[in-house]
Amino acid sequence: AQSVAQPEDQVNVAEGNPLTVKCTYSVSGNPYLFWYVQYPNRGLQFLLKYITGDNLVKGSYGFEAEFNKSQTSFHLKKPSALVSDSALYFCAVRGLENGNNRLAFGKGNQVVVIP
Amino acid sequence: SQTIHQWPATLVQPVGSPLSLECTVEGTSNPNLYWYRQAAGRGLQLLFYSVGIGQISSEVPQNLSASRPQDRQFILSSKKLLLSDSGFYLCAWRGRDDTQYFGPGTRLTVL
């Protein structure tokens, strides 16, 4: 079974400081990995994904994530956080077993960027 | 470009009343479609997914049902709502790039 762990409920960071949101996964075979962001009362917005290729993936709004196969991690990072980055962040994984049409989502991390 | 619509945006319903939430996708054909519920808190729960017209897979046995009467239409229904059905309902479609794209959501409050 595929699963995602986002160990921290909330991440607080000062504006201008680096932001990291942690994600580890469990899946059979090679994973497809995704990050989404959700603002209050909105749907999830796609930020970036890893399917194959370069382990460092760059996405929207200055975010990037690094795929680490040995540590089964896919942490989301931003070099300099903005107040507008305050939101709920979800990591998701899809295994590549046949007929798998589902994503497994983590519980989400609330990011609070302090002015 | 592709867009996904959900309506209504908000809904307040009494316990025991029926429910119908609609999701439509534009700009693509034969997409995989998904219904999720996000309860207060944050976690996403997959309720149903569909790979084609009339093909529905149920992930969690409960008070809800889904139908796909047309290629780009996905409907979530209930005959009798429970208090526990309150939540934020999200529809998503899967693109050819294997990414799921989400609609704006429906906030359902059951009183």
User: For B82-107, what is each residue's pLDDT tens digit?
Assistant: 999 999 999 999 988 889 999 999 99
Q: Which of A45, A49, A108 sits opposite B43 (nearest CB)?
A: A108
B contacts of A42 (beta carbons < 8 Å): 104-105
Q: Is B87 on the interface with A (CB under 8 A)?
A: no
B80, B45, B46, B86: which is closest to B64 by C-alpha? B80
User: For A21-77, what is each residue's pLDDT tens digit?
Assistant: 999 999 988 899 999 999 998 999 999 999 999 999 999 999 999 999 999 999 999
Radius of gyration, CA atoms only, chain B: 13
Nearest-by-CA chain B residue for A48: B99
pLDDT of residue A90: 97
Per-residue pLDDT at A98 exceeds 60? no
Q: Work out the minimum CA distance from A4 to partner chain B, whole angstroms.
A: 12
Per-residue pLDDT at A102 exceeds 90? no
Q: Where are the domains of chain A?
A: 3-114
Band the pLDDT of A99: cuts 50, 70, 90: low
B23, B104, B25, B108: which is closest to A41 by C-alpha? B104
As a whole number of angstroms, the distance between CA B96 and CA A24 comes to: 25
Output DSSP code: residue A51: S
Band the pLDDT of A2: cuts 50, 70, 90: confident
Percent above pLDDT 90 for chain A? 83
Instruction: Return the residue in A9, A45, A103, A109 with the most chain B beta carbons within 10 A, the one to mutate for interface testing.
Output: A103
pLDDT of residue A75: 98
When the candidates are 3.40.50.300, 3.40.1520.20, 2.60.40.10, 3.30.70.1380, the CATH number that belongs to A3-114 is 2.60.40.10
Alpha helices in B16-64 (DSSP H): none
Reply yes or no on domain B3-110 having CATH 2.60.40.10: yes
Chain A / chain B CB contacts < 8 angstroms:
49
